[in-house]
Amino acid sequence: MNTVTIAEIASRLDLPESTVRYYRDRFSEFVPVIGKGRQRRYPEEAVEIFHTIADGLRNGQTATMVEETLGRLYPRNVETTETELAQVTAGTPQQVAQAMVQVLYQQSEEIQAMRLSLEQIKDDLDRKYEENVAVVAEAFEKLKSHMDTQDMQNARLARERDQFIVSQMRDMLQKSQQSQAQSKSWWQKWWGKNSAQASVRS
């Protein structure tokens, strides 16, 4: 059976080892373990379990919701037996003190892991916020550029329209002037002809 360490699991999931240890202790019912103490190792399938835990917490699920998800996907794994508890409580005062120190140390690690996990969640939220701001800013710049382009096109069309109107009016004026000139010329010819005939008769 292939096994992995906490460090290897943390490396695969790109998480701090302290965070993975916190997940292991918080959801120990679902994490399969081989060996005890420093010799503890984990089967390959444990990597997927840790991945499910990390995804759930990263997506805003509570620990209870993550436990429900794990309960649907994986079997429970109870590590501590009544015999082991009896051995701890029946130990010498020195052993009990060492056990208490170990518990306090583990609790301290858990608190540190929780803090790191919260910081990671905060960093993820900050990154998503910055990405959203960047997307909105890019969309605004595209809209502004589109509006500027549209304004330029509208101004060009307005100039072309005005030039067309002026050109049409100029053509109409020229045609009117030509028509008046032709009419005047015809009238002058007719008047001149009649005047000449009148002179001959007299």
Average pLDDT, the chain: 80
Q: What count of Cα atoms within 13 Å lies in the side-chain half-sphere of residue 150?
A: 6
pLDDT value at position 62? 92
- Average pLDDT (163-189) is 79
Residues 9-27 have pLDDT tens digits of 999 999 999 999 999 999 9
Q: Give the span between the Cα atoms of 121 and 114, in whole angstroms.
A: 10
Q: Please, is 20 exposed, middle or buried when counting C-beta atoms within 10 Å of its C-beta (0-12, 13-18, 19+)?
A: buried
Q: Report whether pLDDT(170) > 70.
A: yes
For residues 1 and 11, the answer to whether their CB atoms sit within 8 Å is no
Q: Are 41 and 35 in contact (CB under 8 A)?
A: yes
Instruction: Render pLDDT for 53-87 as a digit per residue (tens, 0 to 9).
Output: 999 999 999 999 999 999 999 988 654 444 444 54
Residue 67 confidence (pLDDT): 92
Q: Are 77 and 31 in contact (CB under 8 A)?
A: yes
Considering the entire predicted model, what is its pTM?
Answer: 0.41
- The answer to whether domain 1-79 has CATH 1.10.1660.10 is yes
Residues 29, 189: Cα–Cα separation, whole Å: 121
Task: Give the C-alpha separation, 28 to 80, whole Å.
Answer: 10
Q: Domain map of the chain by residue range? A: 1-79, 81-148
pLDDT at 133 over 70: yes
Roughly what angle, to the nearest 10 degrees, separates helices 63-73 and 45-58?
A: 150
